[in-house]
Amino acid sequence: MFNRKRVACAALFAVVLLVAGCTAKMNAVTKASEQPLQANEETTLETTFRQVKVSSDVPSIHIGLSPDETTRLSIRTSDPEKLQKHFDFHYRETDGQLEVTVRGKSRNPGLDVLDLIETWGAELHVELPDHSYNSVTVHSDVGKIEYREVNADRLAVSSEVGTITVADTATEQAIVTNSVGAVRLDNVNGKTEVSNSTGTVNIYAPSIENDIAVKTELGAVTIETDREPDNVRLDLSTEIGKVATNFDIERNDQSKRSIAGQKGENGPQIKVRSEIGPIEVRYRE
């Protein structure tokens, strides 16, 4: 009986050591994968990523294509010492995912105004190889976001304050969210959802092939395409403002503040909801 207890205790102790060792090893790997970025120095990565997450407090984020098969990261500033004093910036590689993070050191819980004033001209650049990614997520608290030519099955771009531009991108689904600032989508293929509390929304698509949904509280909404679609459904309404379209649709409902109807059968839907602001959906004549 005594021997059995000793054997059981020894086995349990061995399991504990094994788990602890594996946990320590995993923590060490995770910690080692987090690497600092240096101001005005380009970091080149040869890893192939399936997912990319970018979260930054610097006032300007640029996402675009790399000239080769490497991923390139850089923070550009006219005053690197001041930037390093007010910001922490690093990247992390974990299981096919790249995370790039830039945070103000005074952030607790929000970004300190001093951080922004001292480093207003800083830019974060992320250049990705010309692949199709499973997902790309980009977030900024303050500042503009420019996203161009990087294809992803799911694209999510969001900002609290600042302009957002997404251009020349193929997706299955693009979700763009802003609180204050203009939103512009140029030649973004795929199902599109835009939410903007305050600011204009401008969308250009060479042809209407996928659903487009826009919701805004204050600001004009304009959706433009090269030619009139053969099949399309419109559902447009605003509480204050005018609604207009030059699409030749069979109208189920029309007033100064709403238009609903369709052309053809089973076409993509353009749905816009606004509290204050005009809405226009048109093709170029």
Confidence check: pLDDT of 97 > 60: yes
- pLDDT, residue 143, reads 86
Confidence check: pLDDT of 11 > 80: no
- pLDDT, residue 21, reads 45
Question: For residues 90 and 36, what is the distance between their CA atoms, to the nearest angstrom?
Answer: 4
Side chain identity, residue 150: V
The arithmetic mean of pLDDT across residues 238-244, rounded, is 94
The arithmetic mean of pLDDT across residues 21-48, rounded, is 68
The arithmetic mean of pLDDT across residues 224-245, rounded, is 95
Decide: pTM greater than 0.95.
Answer: no
Q: How many CA within 13 A on the CB side of residue 108?
A: 2
Instruction: Tell me how crowded residue 3 is: count the other CB atoms within 10 A of its CB.
Output: 7
Look up residue 262 and give its two tokens.
Answer: 């369709």
Query: Higher confidence at residue 201 or residue 266?
Result: 201
Q: What is the mean pLDDT of the chain?
A: 85
- pLDDT, residue 32, reads 41
- pLDDT, residue 122, reads 85
Among the ranges 65-74, 102-111, 250-259, which has the highest mean pLDDT value? 65-74
Confidence check: pLDDT of 117 > 60: no
The arithmetic mean of pLDDT across residues 159-163, rounded, is 93
- pLDDT, residue 81, reads 83
- pLDDT, residue 189, reads 93
- pLDDT, residue 269, reads 97
- pLDDT, residue 14, reads 39
- pLDDT, residue 107, reads 55
- pLDDT, residue 67, reads 95
Please classify residue 189 by burial: count the beta carbons closer than 10 Å to its beta carbon, then call 0-12 exposed, 13-18 middle and 19+ buried.
middle
The confidence band for 120, taking pLDDT boundaries of 50, 70 and 90, is: low
What is the percent of the chain where pLDDT is above 90? 65
Confidence check: pLDDT of 109 > 80: no
Question: For residues 9 and 228, what is the distance between their CA atoms, to the nearest angstrom?
Answer: 77
Question: For residues 115 and 86, what is the distance between their CA atoms, to the nearest angstrom?
Answer: 6
Confidence check: pLDDT of 13 > 90: no
The arithmetic mean of pLDDT across residues 34-50, rounded, is 90
The confidence band for 154, taking pLDDT boundaries of 50, 70 and 90, is: very high
Please classify residue 125 by burial: count the beta carbons closer than 10 Å to its beta carbon, then call 0-12 exposed, 13-18 middle and 19+ buried.
middle
Instruction: Tell me how crowded residue 128 is: count the other CB atoms within 10 A of its CB.
Output: 23
- pLDDT, residue 3, reads 47
User: Vertex 9, ends 8 and 13: CA angle to 5°?
Assistant: 120
